[in-house]
Structure 1
């Protein structure tokens, strides 16, 4: 009996170890006090049923363990149990991550949902916008992140110090910033003041900015120098490339050896276009499906393509041709010179528009969506998206209400399969709903409210040129659960069906 008792205690102890967590779970009666007592807190507001939350959980746990050593607190709140607290914090979808510096200084977490990205982001949050760097701390500061930026200044140069401080404040989420006024340290680093040095643990190791101090110029230098000459495009880097504001050239290959070989081969092209085009290799075995988004075949690698990120245009290199330095050099030069027409993926234009919801494809997108005489509400959807399927009957009802109203010639309810058609909008999740008001097509308004017919009507009436409001035959029942996230990305199960992961 005693032996059994010992075994039971041992199993309980093992279970306790297995379930030990460095993520602190808070409730409404403990949240405020905890945030007040700690200088910096990262909080996740989640729901147990949420697929994105489940995917985040192991990454969040790993980050919490690392950040615990740096005395940065990582917490979570179950919104199915603490609905009032989550409502107070303005939580609209899951997971929602926020950074707290007390209860009155709250900012959204803007990093990626991977352990190392969460750790890097929060370490930067724990530092001042600009840290004082000395000869004794420089080497340690260089190791604070993959990229750190240090200004070497004259102690009396207030103007340069202000410009650098302004840049650091703007980019503090991206990089740790330091400053040194030690002339001997600058000399030891081979730097002539004033100058900015970007230290990095890849490529050439560091880059130097020695031009006239200007916030915009320093920011451009930092973003260019901090991007690997030929990086790796994946889940952790994709959004950074998309937000860089310059085209991205993809090098698809199925093995690490082949990606390395192609990187070396195309390095001269990347060097010549640095700051103009970003270059990145991509694992075609894991992310080959993304080739289809660039209008490439998804079963023929290696492959090369350029994406004009701002306009979401695609320029695939002929996959029947060999990837050589000379051929890619010519292709890239012609792209920069505007000599290549973008490839446009489109379903056929419908022979007729008989339904209440207009069907948009790439080839009729401008004619329907950018018709400047009409308010156009358009849904960007994916056939596999569960939220899109749930919205479909309500969206049809919305289309019918406007089609049979006095506004039938002024308001268009439309939809487009964003997986089968190239659209100028960069769509991050499904469904995405936007209103293009008549007379102002350059500035669409993105919808973020509940997906009910009533709320969509209010949105059109409030944001459209014609203030078009229609009445429903009967009051609509509550349709949107508070827990439902604003948009859906591909699920793990759906990704497995195609044998590829999502970026």
Structure 2
């Protein structure tokens, strides 16, 4: 009997170990005390049915275990059970991740949803904007992340220190920043104060800045030096490239060997255009569907294209031509000189508008959406998107109400198939709804409320120039709270649209 008892205890212990988690699950009565007791907490607000939450779960667990030794806590809150707590913290989609430094200092998590990215981001959050670096701590500081930035300045040089600190405050979410006033250490590192050194675990290993110490120049140098000469474009790096503010040149190829071969061939171009155009390879087998987003054929590789990220313009290189150093150099040089016209994918302009919602295509986008005399509410949708299909009858009703109102010539309710038309907007998922107010077309407002007719009317009335409010003809059934499964960031998708449909993924 004792043997059976020991076996049972052993099985229970094994089960406890198997289910042990370093992520702390919080409830309304434990949340405040936990946040107050810990200097830094990353909290995930989730729903058990959310597909993106399920995908995040193992990454979140791994990050929690890694960060445990640094005393950085990761927590989660089930919003189907803790509705009041989630509403209190403004949760509108799942998963929502927030960084807490006490209850009064809360900010959004801006990193990627992978274990390494979560770990890196939270370690940077735990550090001061600028850490003091000495000869004893420098080597350890260099290992804090893939890229770390250190300034070597004289103790009396306040102007240089302030310029560097300004950059550190602005980019603290991206890189760890350190400063040393030790002249001997600077000399040992091959520089003389004032200087900035970007240490990195790729390319040449480090880059040095010794020009005039101005915040803008330092920031530009840091972002350029911290970007691989020819990096890898994928789910973990895509948003960084999109936010870099530079055009992105894609090298599509199906094998690692071919990507390496083409990269070596085009390396002189990437070096010549460093800081002007970013270059990256992309796995055409895994992410070949993304070629279609750049107006390339999705079944002919290798391929090359440039995306002007700021304007969302696409410049595909002719896929019938061979990718050679000379041909790509000419193409890139012409692009930089403004000699290449962007490729615009557009459906034909409708001969007449059928139905209450105005159909917009790429060729009519500027004429309709940017008409400065009208408030324009536009839905960016995908034909395969389930949420878009659910919204359609409500959106039709909304358009009918405005068409019959006194605002029929002042408010336009429109939609565009963002998979078949190039649009200048950065669309993170489907459906995305934006209001372009009359007289303020450069300041569109993105809708994030419940997808009900009444709430959409309130949104137009509150944010449009004409404060146009109309009444519903019939009372709508009460809707669930606004929170819905969030579309993932617009990264190169490994799935076809058909696969995305089957998996119920409403994402680019």
The TM-score, its normalising length taken from structure 2, stands at: 0.95
Q: State the SS of the aligned residue for 2:107.
A: strand
2:397 aligns with 397
Q: State the SS of the aligned residue for 1:376.
A: strand
Shift of 1:345: 0.8
Distance 2:393 2:77 in 1: 34
Q: State the SS of the aligned residue for 1:349.
A: coil
Distance 1:116 1:496 in 2: 30
2:329 aligns with 329
Q: State the SS of the aligned residue for 1:60.
A: helix
1:183 aligns with 183
Assess, with a 3 A threshold, how the Cα gap between structure 1 residues 489 and 229 changes in structure 2: closer, same or farther: closer
Q: State the SS of the aligned residue for 2:481.
A: coil
Q: Is the 8 A contact 1:131 1:179 kept in 2?
A: yes
| Match status 1:412 vs 2:412 | yes
1:260 aligns with 260
1:37 aligns with 37
Shift of 1:450: 1.5
- 76-85 or 201-210: which moved more? 76-85
1:126 aligns with 126
Q: State the SS of the aligned residue for 2:331.
A: helix
What does 1:285-300 correspond to in 2, within 5 Å? 285-300=285-300
Q: State the SS of the aligned residue for 1:199.
A: strand
| Match status 1:25 vs 2:25 | yes
Unaligned 5+ residue runs, structure 2?
none
Q: State the SS of the aligned residue for 1:307.
A: strand
| Match status 1:350 vs 2:350 | yes
CA deviation profile, 1:331-374 (whole Å, cap 9, x unmatched): 00011111111111111222210210011111111121122222
2:449 aligns with 449
Q: Is the 8 A contact 2:133 2:179 kept in 1?
A: yes
Distance 1:130 1:320 in 2: 51
Distance 2:209 2:421 in 1: 42
Shift of 1:487: 4.7
- 477-486 or 299-308: which moved more? 477-486
- 489-498 or 183-192: which moved more? 489-498
1:273 aligns with 273
1:232 aligns with 232
Q: Is the 8 A contact 2:63 2:116 kept in 1?
A: yes
CA deviation profile, 1:137-194 (whole Å, cap 9, x unmatched): 1111111100001000111111111111111111111111111111111111110110
Unaligned 5+ residue runs, structure 1?
none
Distance 1:158 1:235 in 2: 40
Q: State the SS of the aligned residue for 2:149.
A: strand
Distance 1:421 1:348 in 2: 10
Shift of 1:488: 6.5
1:165 aligns with 165
Q: State the SS of the aligned residue for 2:323.
A: coil
Q: Is the 8 A contact 1:431 1:488 kept in 2?
A: no
Q: Is the 8 A contact 1:452 1:480 kept in 2?
A: no
Distance 2:50 2:487 in 1: 12
- 410-419 or 443-452: which moved more? 443-452
2:471 aligns with 471
Q: How many residues matched? A: 503
| Match status 1:387 vs 2:387 | yes
Shift of 1:439: 2.4
Distance 2:426 2:93 in 1: 20
Q: Is the 8 A contact 1:432 1:487 kept in 2?
A: no
1:497 aligns with 499
Q: Is the 8 A contact 1:250 1:279 kept in 2?
A: yes
Distance 2:363 2:482 in 1: 37
Assess, with a 3 A threshold, how the Cα gap between structure 1 residues 489 and 71 changes in structure 2: closer, same or farther: closer
- 412-421 or 471-480: which moved more? 471-480
1:206 aligns with 206
Q: Is the 8 A contact 2:451 2:482 kept in 1?
A: no
1:68 aligns with 68
Q: State the SS of the aligned residue for 1:401.
A: helix
Q: Is the 8 A contact 2:448 2:482 kept in 1?
A: no
Q: State the SS of the aligned residue for 2:53.
A: helix
Q: Is the 8 A contact 1:448 1:486 kept in 2?
A: no
Q: Is the 8 A contact 1:430 1:488 kept in 2?
A: no
The TM-score, its normalising length taken from structure 1, stands at: 0.96
Shift of 1:479: 2.3
Distance 2:488 2:400 in 1: 26
Distance 1:415 1:93 in 2: 22
Distance 2:299 2:10 in 1: 52
Q: Is the 8 A contact 2:287 2:494 kept in 1?
A: no
Assess, with a 3 A threshold, how the Cα gap between structure 1 residues 204 and 376 changes in structure 2: closer, same or farther: same
Distance 2:299 2:5 in 1: 59
Shift of 1:495: 6.2
Q: State the SS of the aligned residue for 2:192.
A: coil
2:459 aligns with 459
| Match status 1:11 vs 2:20 | no
1:55 aligns with 55
2:138 aligns with 138
Distance 2:402 2:498 in 1: 40
Q: Is the 8 A contact 2:124 2:175 kept in 1?
A: yes
Distance 2:139 2:263 in 1: 30
Distance 2:137 2:497 in 1: 46
Q: State the SS of the aligned residue for 1:378.
A: strand
Shift of 1:482: 4.2
Runs of 4+ with >6 A deviation = 488-496, 498-503
Distance 1:8 1:362 in 2: 67
